Amino acid sequence: FYSLLENNPIANTTLTYRSVTVFAPANLAFQKYTGKVDDSLVLYHMTNSAQNLNQLGYYVSSELEGNPPLWITRQRNGVKDEIFVNNAKILSQRSNLVYTNLNGRKQVLHIIEDVLEPVRSTNPDTPLYNPDAWTFLNQSENIDLDSHRIRSFRQRVQLMKKADIFKAEGRYTFFIPVDEGFQPPPRPEKIDEKVIDGHVIPREVLFTNAAQEEVEHETLAFTDMMKVTISFKTEHSLKGSKTYVKSHTIVGDANHAEGVVLAEIVKANIPVKNGVVHLIHRPLMVVDTTVTQ
């Protein structure tokens, strides 16, 4: 990380003249990181005010173009807080290192367990600066999502006129099913307004490492008439770990069966301006009809 920092003129200028907080991934983090390493990566690990761990709020603005937020989560673990920035755990015992640069500006260094990965455009003609969840959904063809496509869900959101919930300012967790999950028919038609609401958790930005297991979070489909929650579960095996989300329709209606739907997260922890997006392998809340029916 230090060599990336040295080679970045903007980062160097910032360190020379300004206050800054740097979230530096440990060397091990880079060894397991498979994403793209370029100039912009360094700026995404810096913010232009000096903040020690107990000063960090819900988020800090990074120095990447467009100043996308880095989301901060605190987890109570016994007597102490575990703190995460996006999906990376902050190594508290190696953090809060305070320096003063030659211009008398305070600077703070925190060491983190993983490399932070911003949303990137794959198309140089349409750069993305701090996209919200709707821009992410709308521009998904220009974003590096491995091989995943999310066009079917986007069409349903447009058809149901629900784009506003993805544009809303604030803190949200969004679950977006990939196109493969829309088979077999009539599954797509079942994605109505309430089902779309059931893919969004308001007031919480939940990254997989920082989310507590088996805790039910109320979705936008948790109202007077209907009750739908989402929880996370990670399963570990020799092949590695898989994280699932479970939607639980506690109270349904004529069109929305009560019950549980499990979906695997196929691409997790995509940070956006208004929270975090997880791509899932099938829609939540859609309880497929049983053979007997």
CB-side neighbour CA atoms (13 Å) of 26: 15
- On whether both 54 and 167 belong to a single domain, the answer is no
- On whether both 146 and 265 belong to a single domain, the answer is yes
Give the domain extent around 101: 1-112
CATH number where 88 lies? 2.30.180.10
Instruction: Estimate to the nearest angstrom the gap between the alpha carbon of 46 and the chain centroid.
Output: 18
- On whether both 139 and 264 belong to a single domain, the answer is yes
Locate tokens 């490492």: which residue?
209
pLDDT in tens, 48-93: 999 999 999 999 999 999 999 999 999 988 788 899 999 999 999 9
Amino acid at 118: P
The DSSP letter of residue 143 is B
Instruction: Estimate to the nearest angstrom the gap between the alpha carbon of 281 and the chain centroid.
Output: 16
For residue 181, tell me if it sits in a domain: yes
pLDDT in tens, 206-231: 999 999 999 999 999 999 999 999 99
Instruction: Report how many domains make up the chain.
Output: 2
Boundary of a domain, candidates 60, 81, 112: 112
Please answer whether residues 242 and 264 qualify as being in contact, where contact means their C-beta atoms are separated by less than 8 angstroms: yes
